[in-house]
Amino acid sequence: MKKINERLTPEGKMDVLSKLEVNILLNASREKFANEFRACSLAVLNTGSTEDSAKAVLEQHPDFKIEVIQQERGIKLQVHNALEQAFVDGTMITGIKEHLFCVLRDIVFVGNEIDTNPRFDLSKTEDITNVIFHILRNAKVLQTDMKPNIAVCWGGHSINRTEYEYTKEVGYQLGLRALNVCTGCGPGAMKGPMKGANIAHAKQRINDGRYIGLTEPGIIAAESPNPIVNELVILPDIEKRLEAFVRMGHGVIIFPGGPGTAEEILYLLGILLHPENKELPFPMILTGPKSSEEYFKKIHHFIEKTLGFEAQQKYKIIIDDPSLVAREMKSMIEDVSDFRRSTSDAYYFNWIMHIDEEFQLPFEPNHENMKNLKLHKDQGIHSLAANLRRAFSGIVAGNVKEDGILAIEKYGKFEISGDEDILSPLDDLLASFVEQQRMKLPGSQYIPCYEIVK
């Protein structure tokens, strides 16, 4: 494949910077954020690839280089040996170019601000939420003049064609009802709803439709931003990414997926099960085509056996009815609007939602931490959800994240241990994911990165 060199101008993104800010960018992009900046930039240029391993993407393009160039009027980006698929007739595609500057903004500029600002103590719950607010506000995705209308869509990046077409139809029905879509920004269930909503917005003559993509450095190479995303934000880690979804979103629709989707379900359930969020309205709908009904039965059964009946009451399951999904979401978001108004909470950022530090502090999925997870029922139900979420987070890391893959190659499989009444349903659910080819891209043989130790 032909490689291309090009120098890029910001054009509306980071085009007004002081000399001090330019110097900060130059130093940070060449030093402490150099590796993340390069990896995330390569992921953006790799849009459309079928590769779902961050490690493999980096290994396939060892000659790729990106650097910040200082000029009197600010900065430019110089890319060396960039992928030809990111260009048309030698000029970089506009959306990909915009995403590159989002990488620079979030990874280097905001990342440096957070690291060097003494007012952010990332061991404190309140400060973590303030950091997320700071990142989202800096990216200009917090719209203060809009009523709640953001439907967050979660689901797998390697779903089959029937499931993908279903996500498009749900997105279409959401768009017809003037709802905007926020996803993890990648392919599959993250792309389909945006594509459907984009067509519906065009039919409704909605010219400012929003297709918001939230990702993080460890996952972006495996789930490169899809081309429909017009507002891209890269959060520092998976925990802040998940909190950003529920702080700025007004309801969540969950499509079929694998361990990453299970992690998201458990994260949201853990928050909604906390006693302080008992009265908080937050729509949660699990949906898919008729062919995916068994997938949701497995999820529903797993939640019953681990978290119980109370957790099952926090969501609805709707099978094979996209218009009903959209109608229910629209109606429940109106309830969210009423609640936010009655509590004087912001429409654009859910400040009132309580999120414990066990859902906020980054979990490092190494062998010791995975082995020491507290997978037993002798704890609050929301805490059990938090620990189950960590288990799935580790499996995601072992499947697709570079650090996780390298750790498995070096030390062997993650060991997951705990009580039998937790491990048995967990083992059954994971086995169903493998059987349904939800662990890796279809067609590739899956070698488990974990071992259930009963």
pLDDT of residue 158: 82
Which helix (H) or strand (E) is 24 found in, with range?
helix 19-30
What is the rounded distance in angstroms from the CA atom of residue 278 to the CA atom of residue 386? Answer: 17
Q: Residue 37 pairs with which residues in a beta bridge? A: none
Structure tokens at 210: 């929003």
Residue 104 CA to residue 449 CA, distance in Å, equals: 32
Greatest alpha-carbon pair distance for the chain in Å reads 65
Which ranges of 344-419 would DSSP assign to H, the alpha helix?
Answer: 367-371, 381-400, 402-411
Collect all residues with Cβ–Cβ distance below 8 Å to 255 and sequence separation of at least 6: 153, 154, 155, 156, 159, 163, 166, 167, 170, 189, 192, 261, 287, 288
Q: What's the CA gap between 82 and 41, in Å, rounded? A: 10
Tokens of 44: 């953006």
Q: At what angle do helices 381-400 and 420-435 cross, to 10 degrees?
A: 40
**Which pair of tokens denotes residue 199?**
């067509």
Domains delineated in the chain: 3-117 (3.30.1850.10), 140-454 (3.40.50.450)
Question: What are the φ/ψ torsions at residue 181 (nearest 5 degrees)?
Answer: -120, 135
Of the candidates 114, 81, 98, which has an alpha carbon nearest to the alpha carbon of residue 2? Answer: 81
Look at residue 51 in the predicted model and tell me its pLDDT: 55
Residue by residue, pLDDT tens for the chain (454 residues) are: 678 888 988 876 677 778 888 888 888 888 888 888 898 898 888 876 655 566 677 777 888 899 988 877 778 899 998 888 889 998 999 999 999 999 999 998 888 888 888 888 888 999 999 999 999 999 999 999 899 999 999 999 889 999 999 999 999 999 999 999 999 999 999 999 999 999 999 999 999 999 999 999 888 877 789 999 999 999 999 999 999 999 999 999 999 999 999 999 999 999 999 999 989 999 999 999 999 999 999 999 999 999 999 999 999 999 999 999 999 999 999 999 999 999 999 999 999 999 999 999 999 999 999 999 999 999 999 999 999 999 999 999 898 888 888 999 999 999 999 999 999 999 999 999 988 888 866 556 788 899 998 7
Asked whether 190 and 164 are in contact (CB, 8 A), the reply is: no
Q: How far apart are CA 179 and CA 197, in angstroms?
A: 8
- Cα–Cα distance measured from residue 197 to residue 229, given in angstroms and rounded to the nearest whole number: 12
CB atoms within 10 A of CB 17: 17
Q: Using CA of residue 250, residue 354, residue 120, residue 401, what is the dihedral sign? A: negative
Please give the model's pTM, rounded to 2 decimal places: 0.92
Token pair recorded at residue 369: 């931490």
State how far the Cα of 14 lies from the Cα of 305, in Å rounded to an integer: 50
Tell me what pLDDT residue 353 has: 96
Pairwise CA distance, residues 183 & 249, whole Å: 10
With contact defined as beta carbons under 8 Å apart, do 200 and 233 qualify?
A: no
340 torsion bin: left (phi>0), alpha (psi -120 to 50), beta (else) = alpha
Q: State the Rg of the chain over Cα.
A: 21
- Burial (CB < 10 A; 0-12, 13-18, 19+), residue 213, is buried
